[in-house]
Amino acid sequence: MRDTATIRRNVKETLNDAYRKEEYALAIKNINTYILRLKYAFFQLDKKVKKTKNTRTDFDMTTATTALGGTVFSSAASQDAKTAGTILPSVGVALVPVKEAVAPQLTAEQNQAALVRSSIKRLEYTERDNALVGEKDMEITKKITNLKNELKQTQVQLIDVPLEETSNMTEEQLNAYFNNPKVNKKYRLKKR
């Protein structure tokens, strides 16, 4: 009779905490860098939309002024003023196609700005939602995966939005612009 022994070795995967924390810090850094690039892209898009809106408003004010001027002149005593009063409203109407040619509606840019803004908010939320808890977070691998997946998904979604590498604005200036109450009101998501 032979005496035998069976030896089993169970090797469990352990976490290399230092490596995982380094990987987590890199994922956070990548997201923050991408968020800054998105904020600069948002700033550029919003500036373009705002400039066009101002131009369109100027045309609208000119059209309204000529129509009102026509009404005032047509009630004047002199015949020349009455003639000008009949001509001025048609001048205002003629400015409408000029307005559309000079400053067309920038709905694509407005939509891109709204999309960029919501993507920034989503990335910031994901970053907060996947923050480390304590010195040794047991779910660090899952959180790193979530951060990387969210960043990749956002980059794919915004592939058509032009992102510029350089910016003449600091991080504080970009954050101040992005969190400005007027800008928040303009791009607030509407409840349906």
Which SS3 state, helix, strand or coil, does residue 128 take? helix
Nearest to 105 by CA among 39, 51, 65: 51
How confident is the model at residue 124, as a pLDDT?
93
- All residues at 6 or more sequence positions from 41 whose CB lies less than 8 Å from its CB, including other chains: 116, 161, 162, 163, 164
Instruction: Pick from 2-16, 112-126, 150-164 the range whose average pLDDT is largest.
Output: 112-126
- Summary mean pLDDT of the chain: 82
Q: What is the DSSP secondary-structure string of 135-187?
A: SS-TTHHHHHHHHHHHHHHHHHHTTTS---S--SS-HHHHHHHHT-HHHHHHT
How confident is the model at residue 1, as a pLDDT?
66
Q: Where are the domains of the chain?
A: 17-186
Residue 164's pLDDT band (cuts 50, 70, 90): low
Q: Give the pLDDT mean for 25-53.
A: 88
Q: Give the pLDDT mean for 32-56.
A: 85
C-alpha 23/C-alpha 81 separation (Å) is 78
Residue 166's pLDDT band (cuts 50, 70, 90): low
How confident is the model at residue 89, as a pLDDT?
76
C-alpha 75/C-alpha 81 separation (Å) is 8
Rg (CA), the chain: 30
| Top-confidence residue, 53 or 163 | 53
- Cβ burial of 67 (10 Å; 0-12, 13-18, 19+) is middle
Residue 151's pLDDT band (cuts 50, 70, 90): very high
Q: Tell me the per-residue pLDDT of 69-113, one tens digit each, with 9 for 90 and over.
A: 777 877 777 888 778 777 777 777 777 777 777 777 777 888 888
Q: Give the pLDDT mean for 105-132.
A: 88
Number of Cβ atoms within 10 Å of the Cβ of 173: 14
**Amino acid identity for residue 172 in this structure:** E
